[in-house]
DNA sequence: CATGAATGAGGTTTCATTCAT
DNA sequence: TATGAATGAAACCTCATTCAT
């Protein structure tokens, strides 16, 4: 039951708990696991039912279709993926006190998203594997990105460009490099080489290197 | 017929033409298209046959199973993806004359892989979408990467570290950052924002910025 | 509640009220409605429960199976359909005083069955739609028809044939023509053209024409 | 094979043969049989496949859905049901030479529709059982009836009313009585009492009585 | 070589019915 | 008594693969 805690938290909307029966959690858990392993289209509902320990009909009592089950995983993951940028006070916090230097901001952002990825990894795998085939979700992601993430990110970039901390390139280029570098690290860390010897030391060092790479790459010369 | 030229080239082994009947090319073309759109598992052989303008049976005359058809796309793409590193003379060329500075190397590498991605984009999409569910191919990729790409890349990195051009971090970290940055650019360019206004000017500028980002990120300070 | 009165009356046995809980009536009401619309086999118990505003389990508390629910509608409808002929005094009434002429009998019969059809239309629809697939009920109907309706009807026909009012054809033929003509009118009136402009005037006229048609059709020439 | 001839004829469009594979005919044959017995909704495709001696998948190769299979039966039956009235020369034939008296017309009509019902009885059963649940077909029937049958029938009625052969009632009433009487006979003959002793003699006599009933019922007094 | 009808295993989904609350 | 979550059998339908032509 304890291991399923993360699923409940993933599904939380606006910090409010969503009611999930025991069986519903087992279904989600099984679905995320198998979707991540073999992909949505190659996973049969009977397999999900078996792994979840419920009757196949029970899945359809909770999720009208197999696709609805996928969306029940993918939608919250989308929201939580860009969560920091959805907070109203986010930009203000960056400017007002908390982040004297651009590096502070990057460091906190990376740490925060790192924790997120580590916690929800299986759901995130499903999300990125399936998004290519979910045009509605892709559009929603684009919308949220453009409206919330990009706008706020841009302000922050411009702020530190004016402060003379980072190089004068188009903000969208800087944003791309930051995101690319961070996600690149996560993919290496969790997908490509998850079994590599990632002890605390090694990991901290690699994170530090990644931050230094980013900082120097963007530094005002 | 001319448009199908790239498929013939993708399938070339060691520079030798592979014999492909008219129908076979049409099948590959259709399969790549639809696999890229909807994913391998969600594509039916009847749909491929229809788009290719052949009978369903004809597909199975050329490829014993549906999976064989996928592998006929994925395997050559794997080889071509890491092709530069497979050439015997590659490292020698880097050291001996051609690349005086690390930047030259990066610049040529990026240009070369850019041309590759642009030419074979649909097949590459299929490759990256499906590799997660193809353990044999994944292993093969890891094997080739470790044996050919990583080894040679490492030598090059160490060479320029010794020359004092790039920072003294573990070569695998440097390699990761380079690959991550390059692939990140390609994904943005061809997958995330393919419809963005990528005229020659814009593109050159963004490529230049990416190279500068990489160079400064890795420069010896 | 008032609208459900007709259901209570339909279910009355020998003039005695049957005990029906509030929920039971709602279930019957919903079932009749939906069975009439889409047919028994295409109606799900969950849909009935929803329309009745009760839980699915509640249906099965009152009716052991879905078929029992159908029979609870169909059986009383069967009895009420042939009710006049089941009354013991029926033939006597026809002979002794009330109906001097055959036309009087027909007129009263038609009026009486017209009121019946108008009152119980939805249940009657269900009855006629499903009887083809309910062999037990079909047999029961045949039994009742042969034993009660046909026997009594025959006596009446022969009575008026002897009186010289109607043509000397086999009574079963006459009975068929009468029933066919009456039911034909009802089907036109209530099923085929229910939305036709059936004001009192039009309706009375059409009924009169139907009676005249029947009378002249059967008249002794 | 010979017994299936009638199915091919039922499906003929404008007198042209429709191509039907051996298996397709077996499927239609089985479907009509079982639909007639238990109704469309209570019939499973697996049962049809079994009775037809084909794999279940074969049904869906020929008919995209179970409903399409139903429509492949119901649509031709609709057309053939009103076929005589769809012939262009029909009204002309009635007026010009062939039918001196209204009785001749009725006699030919009844004979013609009798042959039709006898030949296609199972398909007709399916048609009338299911039409209540097929709004599109119901509308089409109404359209064809209004546009072709009713219009032509009306002209004929008015013609014989002017000739003084039949009573001056609204044509639609006369049409209703004729159709009702004829269909009523068919239902008795083929559905209600199909096992009654219908030897040639009996049948001819009953047909004659039905015609006399109709004629006297509508005769100008 | 190419075809496409046929197959049947297996996929998703529905639904009457049960039963713990 | 009423509920509604859970069941699992069976429904409709898809699809990779085979094979006679």
Which domain-ending residue is among D40, D68, D96? D68
For residues A68 and A175, give the distance between their C-alpha atoms in angstroms, rounded to a whole number: 33
Residue A188: its chain B contacts at CB < 8 A? Answer: 176, 180
Please report the pLDDT score of residue C142 as a whole number.
Answer: 95
Are B213 and A218 an interchain contact pair (Cβ–Cβ within 8 Å)? Answer: yes
> Is residue A126 assigned to a domain?
no
Whether the beta carbon of C64 falls within 7 A of nucleic chain E: the reply is yes
A211 and A184 within one domain: yes
pLDDT band with cut points at 50, 70 and 90 for residue C1: very low
C1' of E18 to CA of A66 (Å): 25
- The alpha carbon of residue B174 and the mean position of all alpha carbons in its chain are separated, in whole angstroms, by 20
A86 and A53 within one domain: no
pLDDT in tens, chain B (221 residues): 466 788 999 998 777 788 888 899 999 999 999 999 999 999 999 999 999 999 999 999 999 999 999 999 999 999 999 999 998 888 888 888 778 899 999 999 999 999 999 999 999 999 999 999 999 999 999 999 999 999 999 999 999 999 999 999 999 999 999 999 999 999 999 999 999 999 999 999 999 999 999 999 999 87
The CA–CA distances, whole Å, from C169 to B162, B196, D200, D215, D216 equal 121, 90, 18, 15, 14
Are B132 and A132 an interchain contact pair (Cβ–Cβ within 8 Å)? Answer: no
The CA–CA distances, whole Å, from A13 to A139, A165, D81 equal 20, 37, 60
Triad D92, D97, D100: Cα angle to 5°: 110
The CA–CA distances, whole Å, from B68 to B52, B63, B73, B134, B170 equal 17, 6, 9, 12, 39
Please report the pLDDT score of residue C191 as a whole number.
Answer: 95
User: C-alpha dihedral over B101, B105, B111, B112, to 10 degrees?
Assistant: 150
> Is residue B76 assigned to a domain?
no
Please report the pLDDT score of residue B220 as a whole number.
Answer: 81
User: C-alpha dihedral over B72, B77, B80, B81, to 10 degrees?
Assistant: -160
Model pLDDT for residues C16-32, shown as the tens digit of each residue: 888 888 899 999 999 99
> Is residue A73 assigned to a domain?
no
Residue A210: its chain B contacts at CB < 8 A? Answer: 177
Mean pLDDT of D21-47: 96
- Interface check for D58 against chain C (CB to CB < 8 A): the answer is no
HSE toward the beta carbon, residue D43, CA cutoff 13 A: 24
Tokens encoding D35 = 């639909």
Domain of residue A53, CATH code: 1.10.10.60
Contact A196, B146 (CB under 8 A): no
Q: With b meaning 16 or more CB within 10 Å and e meaning fewer, what string describes C114-148? A: bebbeebbbbbbbbbbbbbbbeebeebbeebbeeb
For residues D214 and D185, give the distance between their C-alpha atoms in angstroms, rounded to a whole number: 11
C98 three-class SS: helix
Model pLDDT for residues D61-88, shown as the tens digit of each residue: 999 999 999 999 999 999 999 999 998 8
User: To the nearest whole angstrom, how far is the Cα of B129 from the nearest Cα of chain A?
Assistant: 7
User: To the nearest whole angstrom, how far is the Cα of D60 from the nearest Cα of chain C?
Assistant: 21
Which domain-ending residue is among C68, C97, C120? C68
Residue C169: its chain D contacts at CB < 8 A? Answer: 209
User: To the nearest whole angstrom, how far is the Cα of A26 from the nearest Cα of chain B?
Assistant: 24
Inter-residue long-range contacts of C91-100, CB under 8 Å, 24+ positions, other chains counted: C91/C152, C91/C155, C91/C156, C94/C156, C94/C159, C95/C156, C95/C159
**What letter would DSSP give residue D4?**
G
Percent of chain C with pLDDT over 70: 99
B166 three-class SS: strand
Residues linked to residue D166 through DSSP beta bridges, in sequence order: D219
Please report the pLDDT score of residue A1 as a whole number.
Answer: 45
Tokens encoding A208 = 């530090």
- Residue in D39, D210, D217 nearest the CB of C216: D217
User: To the nearest whole angstrom, how far is the Cα of D16 from the nearest Cα of chain C?
Assistant: 33
pLDDT band with cut points at 50, 70 and 90 for residue D27: very high
Q: Which residue is nearest to nucleotide E11 (CA to C1')?
A: A44
D120 and D183 within one domain: yes
C105 and C57 within one domain: no
> Is residue A15 assigned to a domain?
yes
- Residue in A129, A216, A218 nearest the CB of B132: A129
What value does the mean pLDDT of chain D take? 93
Identify the closest residue of chain C to D192 by CA–CA distance: C142
**What letter would DSSP give residue C131?**
G
DSSP D51-80: HHTS-HHHHHHHSSSHHHHHHHHHHHHHHH
A57 and A87 within one domain: no
A55 and A156 within one domain: no
> Is residue B74 assigned to a domain?
no
A95 and A188 within one domain: yes
Q: Which residue is nearest to nucleotide F19 (CA to C1')?
A: B57
C209 and C161 within one domain: yes
A194 and A88 within one domain: yes
D181 and D104 within one domain: yes
Cβ-Cβ contacts under 8 Å for D80 (sequence gap 6 or more): D10, D116, D120
Mean pLDDT of D16-40: 93
Residue B180: its chain A contacts at CB < 8 A? Answer: 180-181, 184-185, 187-188
- Interface check for B195 against chain A (CB to CB < 8 A): the answer is no
HSE toward the beta carbon, residue A100, CA cutoff 13 A: 0
Please report the pLDDT score of residue D3 as a whole number.
Answer: 66
Which domain-ending residue is among D38, D68, D98? D68
> Is residue D182 assigned to a domain?
yes
- Interface check for D216 against chain C (CB to CB < 8 A): the answer is yes
Residue B176: its chain A contacts at CB < 8 A? Answer: 184-185, 188
| pLDDT score of D17 more than 70 | yes
The CA–CA distances, whole Å, from D19 to A106, D120, D209 equal 71, 19, 42
> Is residue B9 assigned to a domain?
yes
A191: left (phi over 0), alpha (psi -120 to 50) or beta: alpha
Q: Is B89 exposed, middle or buried (0-12, 13-18, 19+ CB in 10 A)?
A: exposed
The structural domain count of chain A equals 2
> Is residue C21 assigned to a domain?
yes
- Interface check for C198 against chain D (CB to CB < 8 A): the answer is no
Q: Please name the helix (run of DSSP H) or strand (run of DSSP E) that holds residue B134, with its range, or none.
A: none
- Interface check for D38 against chain C (CB to CB < 8 A): the answer is yes
Whether the beta carbon of C81 falls within 7 A of nucleic chain E: the reply is no
For residues C156 and C175, give the distance between their C-alpha atoms in angstroms, rounded to a whole number: 10
Please report the pLDDT score of residue A3 as a whole number.
Answer: 66
Tokens encoding B4 = 């199908």
- Low pLDDT (below 70) residues in chain A: 1-3
End-to-end Cα separation, chain C, in angstroms: 53
Domain assignment of residue A140, given as a range = 82-120+131-218
Inter-residue long-range contacts of C37-41, CB under 8 Å, 24+ positions, other chains counted: C38/D133, C39/C129, C39/C130, C39/D39, C39/D41, C39/D132, C39/D133, C40/C70, C40/C126, C40/C129, C40/C130, C40/C133, C41/C133, C41/D39, C41/D41, C41/D42
Whether the beta carbon of A58 falls within 7 A of nucleic chain E: the reply is no
Residues in chain C: 221
Please report the pLDDT score of residue C95 as a whole number.
Answer: 86
Q: Is A13 exposed, middle or buried (0-12, 13-18, 19+ CB in 10 A)?
A: exposed
More confident residue, D1 or C52: C52
A103 and A62 within one domain: no
The CA–CA distances, whole Å, from A9 to A77, A79, A90, B76 equal 11, 12, 21, 43
What is chain C's Cα-based Rg? 19
Percent of chain D with pLDDT over 90: 83
Are A217 and B221 an interchain contact pair (Cβ–Cβ within 8 Å)? Answer: no
C188 and C98 within one domain: yes
Please report the pLDDT score of residue D1 as a whole number.
Answer: 45
- Residue in C38, C184, C217 nearest the CB of D213: C217
For residues A33 and A50, give the distance between their C-alpha atoms in angstroms, rounded to a whole number: 13
């Amino acid at each position: 039951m304890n291991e399923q805690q993360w699923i409940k938290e993933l599904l939380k909307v606006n910090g409010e708990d969503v009611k999930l029966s025991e069986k519903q959690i087992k279904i989600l858990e099984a679905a995320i696991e198998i979707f991540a392993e073999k992909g949505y289209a190659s996973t049969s509902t009977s397999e999900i039912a078996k792994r979840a320990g419920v009757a196949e009909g029970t899945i359809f009592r909770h999720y009208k279709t197999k696709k609805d089950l996928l969306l029940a995983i993918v939608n919250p993951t989308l929201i939580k993926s860009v969560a920091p940028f959805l907070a109203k006070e986010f930009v203000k916090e960056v400017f007002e006190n908390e982040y004297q230097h651009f590096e502070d901001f990057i460091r906190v952002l990376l740490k925060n998203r790192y924790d997120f990825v580590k916690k929800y990894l299986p759901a995130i795998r499903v999300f990125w594997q399936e998004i290519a085939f979910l045009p509605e979700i892709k559009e929603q992601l684009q919308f949220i990105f453009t409206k919330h993430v990009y706008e706020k990110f841009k302000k922050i970039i411009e702020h530190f460009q004016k402060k003379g901390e980072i190089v004068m390139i188009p903000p969208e280029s800087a944003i791309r490099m930051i995101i690319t570098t961070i996600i690149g690290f996560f993919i290496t860390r969790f997908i490509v080489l998850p079994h590599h010897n990632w002890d605390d030391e090694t990991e901290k060092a690699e994170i530090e290197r990644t931050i230094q790479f980013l900082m120097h790459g963007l530094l005002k010369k």
